Amino acid sequence: MTFSRVLFVVSAAVALVATAVPFARAQDGRLSLADRVSQLEQQRQQDAGTQSLNVDLLNRVNQLQTEVQTLRGMVEEQGHRLSELEQRARDQAMDFDARLSALESGGVAAPTVPSAPATPDPTVGGTLSGVVGQVANEPVPADPLPSAPAVDSTTAQAPVVPGIDAAAERAAYDQAFEALKNGQYAEAARRFQSFIDQYPSGEFAPNAQYWLGESYYVTQNYQVALEAFQHLLSSYPDSNKVPDALLKVGYSQYELKHWDEAEATLNRVIQQYPDSTVARLAQGRLRALRLENRQ
């Protein structure tokens, strides 16, 4: 082979290599671009997932804040109720001392009327033991303290409803109330109903009607409890148990998931008895109602 031919072959080989190198680089460049596109797509998916997680976390934080506000309201209601009970105990102690002093001196003491707080809700805290504590604070007729100041023989006696044996009425009420205090709710309901049937116009009939409703409410017979509380409102509109009964009407409607009726009743409690314990309890239950799924 001549030198010129060898030179030609070498030149051709160099030219071929020079052409192949850019092509390979171009191929490498296209693969790198595809990889980068794939990486960007993965990054976008990760960003979308992070954004969704942030939204979920924000919703959860908002929910927890609402629940904390509701729990704070419940704690405030419990604290206020405890203060009222303490005040009532002090008033009763002062009343007892005044009466005892009057009896020792042979005089007549003017009765001190303690402020009666609204009936505590036995369902707060989620246990049935709350109703026992509530019942323990009920001013039962068997209270050893006299219900009226001592009077002499010239003082007119309170009128007695004709045909009613006051002692028998009192004994029947005591028996029903004792069953309720002991947690015998079915027996208490039976006795209170029997009492109401026998003494519908008696002195303790409104209270018996209220505790009849409570005996059903605490055993989660909400429909029967609702009817019992509504009967108290219609039959004994002047009873001091009306505010508590109206609140429990709203509670019973809430438990039955009658959302609109419960909201209307609880708002009625707040409007009719502002700045009271029952109003604050109604506000707390309204806050809980707003958290419910009404579907």
The answer on pLDDT for 273 being more than 60 is: yes
- Which of 10-19, 70-79, 131-140, 154-163: highest mean pLDDT? 10-19
Name the CATH topology of 122-138+161-295: 1.25.40
Going by pLDDT thresholds of 50, 70 and 90, the confidence category of residue 172 is very high
Q: Amino acid identity of 98? A: A
- Range with the poorest average pLDDT among 125-139, 163-177, 267-281: 125-139
- Convert the pLDDT of each residue in 70-118 to its tens digit: 555 556 555 655 766 776 676 666 666 666 566 656 544 444 444 444 4
Instruction: Give the pLDDT confidence score for residue 118 in this predicted structure.
Output: 43
Helix H or strand E encompassing 15? helix 3-105
What whole-number distance in Å separates Cα of residue 59 and Cα of residue 199?
Answer: 56
Determine the 3-state secondary structure of 111 from DSSP: coil
Going by pLDDT thresholds of 50, 70 and 90, the confidence category of residue 146 is very low
Taking phi over 0 as left and psi of -120 to 50 as alpha, with beta for the rest, 257 belongs to left
Average pLDDT over residues 133-155: 39
Cα 60 to Cα 52, 64, 235, 287: the distances in Å are: 12, 6, 47, 17
The answer on pLDDT for 255 being more than 70 is: yes
Query: Would you tell me how many other CB atoms lie within 10 Å of the CB of residue 228?
Result: 27
- Convert the pLDDT of each residue in 35-72 to its tens digit: 777 878 888 888 777 776 776 676 676 557 555 545 55
Query: Which pTM was predicted?
Result: 0.50
Axis crossing angle, helix 3-105 with helix 277-291, rounded to the nearest 10: 160
- Report DSSP state, residue 7: H
Q: What are phi and psi of 153, to 5 degrees?
A: -70, -15
Token couple for 145: 């303290």
Give the residue, 65 or 280, on which the prediction is more confident. 280
Instruction: Give the pLDDT confidence score for residue 40 in this predicted structure.
Output: 81
Average pLDDT over residues 7-35: 62
Token couple for 157: 């006696």
Locus of tokens 């954004």: 51
What whole-number distance in Å separates Cα of residue 283 and Cα of residue 264?
Answer: 12
- Convert the pLDDT of each residue in 192-242 to its tens digit: 999 999 999 999 999 999 999 999 999 999 999 999 999 999 999 999 999
How many helices and strands, by DSSP H and E, does the chain display?
Answer: 9, 0
Average per-residue pLDDT for the chain:
73
Task: Give the start-to-end residue ranges of the domains of the chain.
Answer: 122-138+161-295
What whole-number distance in Å separates Cα of residue 263 and Cα of residue 222?
Answer: 16
Q: Residue 176: which residues within 8 A CB-CB, separation 6 or more?
A: 188, 191, 192, 194, 195, 208, 211
